[in-house]
Each structure stands twice: as C-alpha cells, then as structure tokens.
Chain A
Amino acid sequence: MNTKMQRNGFLVVLGATLILLVGLSSSGSSFWQGIFINLGMYIILVVALNLSNGFTGVFSLGHIGFMALGAYISAILTLPLDKKASYLPDLPGWLAPVHLDMMIGPFPLGFLLATLIAGVLVTLIAVVVGLVLMRLSGHFVAVATLGFLVIVRVVLINADEFTRGSHTFSNVTAYTDLWWVYAWVFIALIAVWRLKFSSYGRAMFAQRDDGIAAQSVGIVIMRPRLLAFAVSAFFTAVAGALWAHYLTSFSPKAFYFDLTFRVITMLVVGGMGSVTGSVVGPAVITAIAEALRRLEDVTLLYGVSQIVLAVLFIVIIVFRPGGLMGEREINFAGLWQRLRFRASVAQEGSAAEP
C-alpha cells in the first residue's frame, strides 16, 4: 500500500517534470531553458557526489577533476574530422581519425557513445585512484582528493596536444539540450536511489556509521567505498560531457575550486545521504543564485552572490548540519496522509463553526 503510493507519487512527479520539459522546450525561452539545463547538470553532479561523500562518509573534494576529464575526453571524441585536423593537429595517430559525430536521423549516436566512453574511462581512473584513497578517512581523504583535483588540472594544462593546454577548447558541437540532460538526471537519480535501498547502499551507510561494527557483520569496508566512488565518478564524468557539449568552449579553469565549492554547497544544503536532497539542494541554490545575480546587476555589487552563498553554507553547517532533508527521502504516502488529515481537520473546523 505504502510502496504503491510511493510509486504513484513518483509517477506524478515524473509526469509533471515531463510536462515542464515539453513546455520549456516548446516555449523557446532560452533563458529558462538555460537555467533548467544548468540545474539538471548540477543535480547529476550533486547526486553523484552524494553517493560518494554522503553515503560512504569519505569526503572527496576532487570530483570536479572527474568532471573535467569527462568533458575533455568526450569533446575530443565528438570533434568532427575537419575541425580536429586544424584544431588539434598534434593528436596521436590512433586518436586523430576518431570522430564520434555520427547521427541516426536526428539522434546524435556519436554523442551518446562519446559520453559513455568518457564515463567508462573515468570510472576506471576512479577505481585506480580509489584503491589508494579509499583506505584513508577523515581529513586525509579531503586533502588527498584535493590533490587529485590539482593533478588533473596540471595534466590538462600540460597535455596540450589533447587539450590545447590552458587555451580555450572550443568548436565543440552543441548536442546537449534539455532532453539529454534530463534523461541523464533520471538515470542518475534512479541508479543512486536503487543503490541506496539495496545491500550495497546499506553496506555504504553501515561502514560510515561504524566501521568496526560493519566488519563484524561481514562487510569489507573497501568494497562499498570503491563502488560508490566508481559509480559516482561515472555520473560526474557524464555531467562533464553534457557540460562540454552545452557550453561548447571551456578551459581547465572552468573545472576548479569555484565549481567544487558550489557543488558541495548544494550537496550540504540538500542533505548528505538524501537523494531527494540532491534535487532540493541544487534547486534552492540555483534559485537563490539566480535571484542574487539580478540583484548584482541592479545594485552593481558584483560578488554579493558568492558571499551570500558562502554565508548560507556556513549557516546550514552550523544550524542544520543535516541539510534541508537530512538523510530522509520524500515520502508520498506520508504527504498524502498529512494532506488528508489537514483536509479533515479543516472540514471539522468548518462544520463546528456554525
């Protein structure tokens, strides 16, 4: 009964989202489309980071490095041949003729392949990195993963035959639209949700709550941590690929502390451990940031939005460390019951009045 209601609730939300997307994409308002495309990409980044940082408690500060790798790998793969020859002339021989720009009718199959290849390659990198880093905990992980972020940046800047170094990488085809983004949002949310409510998710949360107790019930701590890190890296790389094919030009400095901080703020505000929070956090922060940007334009106080977001982050950490959602998820059955309760109270109230 409860699970049925939960399922119906999901279908309602899914339907509403679809209607919103159809409305947005047919409205032709590039302003709102842009906001929702950005929001969707943030949701993927945040839910992926939640899987790693929130579920396992191993706090990575290096995830945006995975995003950068996903962006560059996919962009190199989709670059059409003519552009590739002139734009990245020093690509090694095996990579130079690769161009995943094929279409099936209106569907850019090449983009999908490039996204998946980028995701898989980055996942492999994450497994190697994770085998070392997931043994650490607490501050050591934070520092070591931050080191990873710095290393990725240095590599990107120095691998100029692949990335054009610190120059802007442009000419990327603009494949990414609302539908691509929200298809991946859907996949990422479902995947992380199902992991959370499975043996894998329970192992992640258990070893986070008490590592010794977790081992005493047979959990090998490394396994859930590594799984979370790897799947998380996959979706983070996917977000990178979407980002690259939305912005169409970027440089290594796009994938650094600013973005790291913003995504972590969204995660903490939404609630570490809550999939629902990974939607709520990005939505709230995007709304606030957008409003503040208007304010900046009017008052000419540029930088105010950054400061306000930082203050908000601190306030949340101090007064509501679990974020808006804590670890809880949206509960449609409970919501429904509360609505009915209110309705019945209101009815009784009005009945008693005369």
Chain B
Amino acid sequence: MGIRSHAAHLLDVTELTKTFKGLHALEDVNLQLDADEILGVIGPNGAGKTTLLNLLTGYLLPTRGKIFFQNKDITALRMPAVTRLGIARTFQNIRLFGAMTVLENVVTAQQLRTEFSLPEVLLATGSFRRKERELVEQAMDHLSIFGLEDHADQLANSLPYGMQRRLEIARALATSPKLLLLDEPAAGMNISETDALHEMILEVKRRFHLTIILVEHDMRLVMNMCDRILVLNYGRVLATDRPEAIRQNADVIESYLGKAHHTAAS
C-alpha cells in the first residue's frame, strides 16, 4: 500500500547529483535496485563510479537528489548511520586498520551489532567474555570464507595485496549488511585470483542474502557476475541493462568497451 512507487525496491536513487566546484562528478543518476540483484557499474576513469558509492554510503552528501534504502530516506545520513542500516562497502584504495591484526580488523566491524556497556568491559563480566568469544568465532567464520583464517594474528598491513582486498570484503561483511558495495575488488589481481574472488563473492551472497553493487574494470568478471550493468560516462548514466544487451550497445562500445577491449588486446 506504499504511496510511493519505490516501495518495492531495496534501493531507490533519484536524480542523484554531486558537484565539486563546478565539476559534475555525478549528474541526475536514477537507479532502482531490487533485493538479491548484482548490479555492475562500469565506466572510464573519472566517470563518477566511486563518487556514486561515496554518496550511497554517506561519505559524501549529494548536491541534489534523493536516496531511499528500504523505503527510508537516507540522503542526509552519514557513514556510520548508513552502515548501521545495512550498507557496507570496500574502498578502491584499500583502507584497512593497518596496525591491527587481521582478526581485529574483522571483529571491529563485527562488534557493530553487539552492545557493550562500559561497566561490563571494565569489570570483564561473564557476559562481556561470552560476547567477545562470540564475536571472535563469527569473525573467524568470515575469515575462513576468504581463506584468511591462517593469517588471523598477522598485522593487516603485512598481508600481500590480494589478501588485503579479501580482508576488506570480509570486514565489510562483518557489519551484517543487506547491500554490499565493492569498489574495484579485482584491481591488481590476476585471472586465477579474480576467479577465486568471483566464487567467494557468490558464496557470501548466497549465505548472507546480499544485494551487491560491483564497480569493476575487469569486464569478464562484470559480465559473468552481474544481473544488470549500469554504464557511467562523465557522471551521466549512459545505459542500464542486462550484460548481453550492454555488450551490444553501440554507445557503450564507443565510449568504453571499445577502448577497454583495445587495451586488453594490446
């Protein structure tokens, strides 16, 4: 009985616009996302892909436009509040808690859904110990999905690059999101690493009933994984369609795919 038509969508973005000192990083983006979908976002560098994620998570506030998540207006919410509502993300330039261990990185995200009172902590009560144990167990569970359980006690910044990327996804997952935003998770990975990543993402999607927005340059990964693809160019939506249709779309080929294919071939 919703008055608004977006009632059915998990995410409903209208006329989303972000301007940096006159530069339109994102302009009039409309986007509806249903639960269980995987949406790919592609476009050349500077197209506004990361800016879109920054707006959806409240890291940046839009110049104009609205963002509804589960029928709730989250346009003005900042990052911690958005995360609490169930949108988690990774970063294009990996952002880990470098001086903390792999396990601590995940537990720090995991604790979002657990309340600790100060007296409980200072007195190290039984309930405190129990909750800590549970957090660690859940975190180890997440780590094992990403093949990181043997590195739990290592410092995050001592991990090799590919593992850092996976740890970031594990950490995002630990906040128990409904919507997961991945910003170029396969960047810098070789084919087999990318394939492994593909499997892991599908695995967590199934296990945790996730909806995913995947920003990615690796066309093979995007085409294989996504239900729909949104193409950005100079901050504007060039097309939103199924992968097969995007592959045929002349505009897209012109502005992006052509170039990407050329560079891939060369």
Measured CB to CB, the residues of A under 8 A from B are: 191, 194-195, 198-200, 202-203, 205-206, 209-210, 212-220, 227, 273, 327
How many A-B residue contacts, CB cutoff 8 Å? 86
Q: Could you tell me if B116 and A205 are in contact, using CB atoms closer than 8 angstroms?
A: no
- List of B residues within 8 angstroms of A213 by Cβ: 91, 95-97
Once bound together, how far apart are the Cα atoms of A351 and B34, in whole Å?
72
Quote the shortest CB–CB distance from A106 to chain B (angstroms): 28
* Chain A nearest Cβ from B171, distance in angstroms: 6
Set of chain B residues within 8 Å of A214, measured between Cβ atoms: 97, 108
Query: Distance (Å) between the CB of B117 and the closest chain A CB?
Result: 10
Main secondary structure on A side of the interface with B? helix
A198/B121 in contact, CB under 8 A: yes
Q: In angstroms, how far is the closest chain A Cβ from the Cβ of B13? A: 19
Per-position binary interface string of chain B over residues 95-123, scored 1 when its CB falls under 8 Å from any chain A CB and 0 otherwise? 11111100010011101101010100110
Beyond A213-B91, A215-B78, A217-B175, is A206–B100 a contact (Cβ under 8 Å)?
Answer: yes
Asked whether B112 lies within 8 Å of A212 as measured between CB atoms, the reply is no
Q: Which residues of B contact A209 (CB under 8 A)?
A: 96-100
Interface residues of B in 48-107 (CB under 8 A from A): 57, 59, 78-80, 83-84, 88-89, 91, 95-100, 104, 107
User: Chain A nearest CB: distance from B66 CB in Å?
Assistant: 22
Establish whether residues A217 and B99, one from each chain, have CB atoms under 8 Å apart when the complex forms.
no
The answer to whether B124 has its CB under 8 Å from any CB of chain A is: yes
- Nearest Cβ in chain A — how far from B111, in angstroms? 4
Please name all residues of chain A whose beta carbon is closer than 8 Å to the beta carbon of B99 when the two chains form the complex: 205, 209, 273, 327
Whether A218 pairs with B112 at a CB distance below 8 angstroms is: yes
The 9 closest A-B pairs by CB, nearest first: A213-B95, A217-B109, A215-B79, A218-B112, A209-B97, A218-B83, A199-B111, A198-B121, A202-B108
Most buried by B among A191, A205, A216: A216
A198-B121, A202-B104, A209-B98 are known contacts. Are A216 and B128 too (CB-CB below 8 A)?
no
Q: What residues on A are CB-neighbors of B57 within 8 Å?
A: 216
Indicate whether B33 reaches chain A with its CB closer than 8 angstroms: no
Residues of B within 8 A of A273 (CB): 99
Q: Which residue of A198, A218, A220 is within 8 Å of B109 (Cβ)?
A: A218
Q: Which residues of chain A are near B111, meaning CB under 8 Å?
A: 199, 202-203
Q: For A327, give the chain B residue with the smallest CB separation.
A: B99
* Nearest chain A residue, comparing its CB with the CB of B111: A199
Structural contact, A198 and B116, CB atoms closer than 8 A:
yes
Q: Which residues of A contact B132 (CB under 8 A)?
A: 198
Contact B175 A199 (CB under 8 A): no
Min Cβ gap A3→B in Å is: 10
User: Which residue numbers of B lie inside 8 Å of A, CB to CB?
Assistant: 57, 59, 78-80, 83-84, 88-89, 91, 95-100, 104, 107-109, 111-112, 114, 116, 118, 121-122, 124, 128, 132, 171-172, 174-175
Instruction: Write the nearest CB–CB distance from A198 to chain B, whole angstroms.
Output: 4
Whether the pair B95, A216 counts as a contact (CB closer than 8 A) is yes
| C-alpha spacing A227/B175, complex, angstroms | 22
Give the CA-CA distance A218 to B79 in the complex, in Å. Answer: 7
Closest to B124 in A: A194
The answer to whether B97 touches A205, judged by C-beta atoms less than 8 angstroms apart, is yes
Contacts of B97 in A (CB 8 A): 205-206, 209-210, 213-214
CA distance A212 to B58 in the complex (A): 11
Nearest A residue to B100 via CB reads A205
**Assuming the A-B contacts A218-B80, A220-B80, A327-B99, are A202 and B107 also in contact, with contact meaning beta carbons closer than 8 angstroms in the complex?**
yes
B108 and A206 form a contact (CB under 8 A): yes
The answer on a CB contact under 8 Å between A191 and B122 is: yes
Q: Within the complex, what minimum Cβ distance (angstroms) separates A47 from chain B?
A: 14
Q: Assess whether B121 is in contact with A199, with CB atoms less than 8 Å apart.
A: yes
Distance in angstroms from A135 CB to nearest chain B CB is 14
Chain A contacts for B104, CB-based, 8 A: 202, 205
Which residues from chain A contact B109 at a C-beta distance below 8 Å? 217-218
Question: Which residues of the partner chain A approach B95 to less than 8 Å between Cβ atoms?
Answer: 210, 212-213, 216
Looking at the assembled complex, report how far the CB atom of A266 sits from the nearest CB atom of chain B, in whole angstroms.
21
Q: How far is the CA of A152 from the CA of B124 in the complex (A)?
A: 35
Are B108 and A216 interface neighbours, CB within 8 A? no
Interface centre among A202, A203, A213 (most CB of B within 10 A): A213
CB-nearest residue of chain B relative to A219? Answer: B80
Chain B residues in 8 Å Cβ range of A227: 118
Q: Which residues of A contact B118 (CB under 8 A)?
A: 200, 227
Q: Which A-chain residue is minimally distant from B105 (CB atoms)?
A: A206
A162 to B7, CA, bound (A): 65
Nearest-neighbor residue (CB-CB) of B132 within chain A: A198
B89 lies within 8 A of A216 (CB): yes
Taking CB atoms, residues of chain B closer than 8 Å to A212 are 59, 79, 91, 95
Taking the nearest CB of chain A, how far is it from the CB of B36, in angstroms? 23
Question: In the complex, are the beta carbons of B122 and A217 less than 8 A apart?
Answer: no
B180 to chain A, nearest CB (A): 12
Whether A195 lies near B108 (C-beta < 8 A) is no
Complex: how many Å from CA A167 to CA B133? 55
